[in-house]
Every structure is written in C-alpha cells, then in structure tokens.
Amino acid sequence: MPATITIDDLRRYAVARTLFAPTTLARAIQKLGFVQADPIRAPARAQDLTLRHRVKGYVAGDLERRYARLPIEEDCLVNYGFLPREHLALMHPRVAAHPWKPTTKRQANEVLAFVRERGQVHPREVDEHFAHGRVTNYWGGSSSASTKLLDGMHYRGLLRVARRENGTRIYEVAAHPQGDESPAGRTLRAAALIELIVRKYAPLPAASLTYLTRLLGYGAPHLKTQTQTAMRLAREHLASLQLDGTTWYWPADENPRSARHAPDNEVRLLAPFDPIVWDRRRFELLWGWTYKFEAYTPAAQRRLGYYALPLLWGERVVGWGTLAVADAQLSHTLGFAAKPPRDAGFRRELEAELARMRSFLRLEG
C-alpha cells in the first residue's frame, strides 16, 4: 500500500465506508455485520439511531416491529445486538465460561420443555409457572431469577428471541446449525469472526484490533484458544500502514484513498455506539479530541451530558448534541470540541438533520 496514505485519508475512509447509501433494513444489517443494542432512549435506542442513517425511511422502532420477519438474530458478538443469522454458526454451540450448577441445569431443562410446549413465552409466564424467586442483578439491584435463567439459556443457544413485546424479549426454542468443532474448523471460525469485526470497524489501530479480538471472548468464549492463532493469520491477510507511530489495519480488498471514500457535507447526529465513533481510541486519533459516553457517570462529573450524540459534519466529528422530547417537541443543545462552526452551510445542514430527527421520531405534527 503506498506510503502516501495520510490521516486525512483514513478519516474520510472511516466515515464514508460505513455511511453507505441508505438501503433496506435487512441489507443495512448485512452490510454493517452487527448493530449494537442499548435500552436507553434519549431520544431513541442506540440501534434505531444507528440504523436511521443507513435505512430508507427508517423510523424509531422499525427494527423491533420488523424483527420477526427478517433473517436476523438478537445475540452476542463483541457486545449485545443484532446480526445476520448466518453469523451465529460461527459462535454456536457456545460454551459459557462459567458452567451451570446442577440445580440451574435442571431448572433450564424444565424451562426448555415448558417453552417447547408453549411455542413462545414471555418471561412473566415462566416466572409465574416456576416461581424461581429473585436474584441480585449486575447493577446490585433485585431482578427475577427466571429472567436471569432465560438470559443464560439464550446465551448458550438453547433459546432465541422470537420477537419483542413492548421491549420485552419473547423466547422460543433455538435450532442452531452445528459448527465444525475440529481444531482447524474452530480456527477458521475464529478467523471469520475477526474478519467480521475488522469489516465493521476498519480502519483499526493495532491496539484496537487486539482489544476487539479479546472482546470476542464474549460472543465465542469457547474459541479463545483458536483466536490467538486466527489473529496472527488475520494480520497476514489484512492491509496495514504505520503512521505517526500507530499501525492501522483494514481489509486488503479496500483502498483508503479510493475516490468513493469522499464523504458528503451533511450534518449527522450519531449514536454513541455508531461504528464511526464506537472505538474511542480510534476516535481520538482521527478527530483529535476525547468523546465519552456519560450515561453511567454521576451527573456532577459529566462534561458532555447524559446521552451526548457525536455531531458529524462531512468527514469531521466537530462536537456533540443532546436531544429531548417534551409535549411532542424536539429540543436540542450543542457542544463543540473547538470553536462552533460559523459556516452558513453548517447551520443549514444542522436544521436539515434536526428535521430528519423529528421525522424519525414521528414528531412532524
């Protein structure tokens, strides 16, 4: 790869390769490879905020409404979200890092028989039938033991999310294809997962590629041994460049200097987990300032706000916006990494983006 590639080229490439022309919901998820999910609505869930830039006519909630008719799954990769169904064959049968106790395994078998008999079940039905009680959740609070058990069964591939009902997962029995469990087959599966995350987040600094590969331990903990070998193989087949002391990686069949990587001049408010901004290390290298997701930061310590949406203008993330809806009206506040743009084009594009946001939230009236 020519040494003339610059940080400007990588910045344009990072933006343009993932902001493809809006398409159908199924094709957008296929092109992205994975869409991270988050339950916070401010003003919409992260998955909806990510997809609205990439799906024609998308409105908040479309993914949940149409999920059951699409060839996609709710499942894990480097975090929790939505991905094309064929990717599950790379991660199942998934073996959890911590085996169940005999009592939990017995409960799971009983619930599995119950779900098989009913076809689809709401967690409330399981709780009412089995009365598993309460447990301490991840945040230190109390939650239903049945819900925790269903989560574990879903993670292990015994159940799948059939649909959602007012945001709650409705489960049914899963049937995952059997993966190749030979050492060579497991290495190939790990390599395919690494390629999947590189194609989603490229260009990647070397440290970020290592970090993401380690995060595959969430989606495929049983492939951990093969992941290290697959990582070495992947690096041999990726394009790379050392720039100002940082080694960058991207798919070998892509060219960061291609003319098609010329971003438009639109203003976009991005989800905190959008592929453009997800990797905070890469973000700082490309845009020269630090973005933090502060929803779980104590209010007094927040600098950007509870749910700050990075503000992309063309190829540059120039600041952030926080949005709120009250009485069917959208309000916004902006912050900037440097001086606020004084360009009339920026103001015009910002108004266009806010209009798109109102349409996405169905606030036109």
143 versus 234: the higher-pLDDT residue is 234
56 versus 88: the higher-pLDDT residue is 56
pLDDT above 70 (res 138)? no
Q: What is the pLDDT of residue 354?
A: 97
pLDDT above 70 (res 221)? yes
Lowest mean pLDDT among 118-127, 169-178, 350-359: 169-178
Q: What is the pLDDT averaged over residues 337-349?
A: 94
26 versus 227: the higher-pLDDT residue is 26
What pTM value is reported for the model?
0.92
Q: Are 287 and 251 in contact (CB under 8 A)?
A: no
pLDDT above 60 (res 251)? yes
Q: How many of the other CB atoms lie within 10 Å of CB of 237?
A: 12
Q: What is the pLDDT of residue 136?
A: 55
**Spatial CB neighbours of 181, under 8 Å, sequence gap ≥ 6:** none
Q: What is the pLDDT of residue 95?
A: 87
Q: What is the pLDDT of residue 1?
A: 46
Condensed to tens digits (0 to 9), the pLDDT of residues 66-114 reads 999 999 999 999 999 999 999 988 998 888 888 999 999 999 999 999 9
CA nearest 162: which of 276, 253, 72? 72
pLDDT above 80 (res 139)? no
Q: What is the pLDDT of residue 55?
A: 98
Pair of tokens at residue 338: 């440097």
pLDDT above 60 (res 173)? yes
Q: What is the pLDDT averaged over residues 339-348?
A: 93
Q: What is the pLDDT of residue 291?
A: 97
Q: What is the pLDDT averaged over residues 126-154?
A: 76
pLDDT above 70 (res 133)? no
pLDDT above 80 (res 141)? no
Q: What is the pLDDT of residue 4?
A: 84
pLDDT above 60 (res 327)? yes
User: CA 94: distance to chain centroid?
Assistant: 20
364 versus 195: the higher-pLDDT residue is 195
Mean pLDDT (the chain) is 92
Condensed to tens digits (0 to 9), the pLDDT of residues 262-304 reads 788 999 999 999 999 999 999 999 999 999 999 999 999 999 9
In DSSP terms, 228 is beta-bridged to none
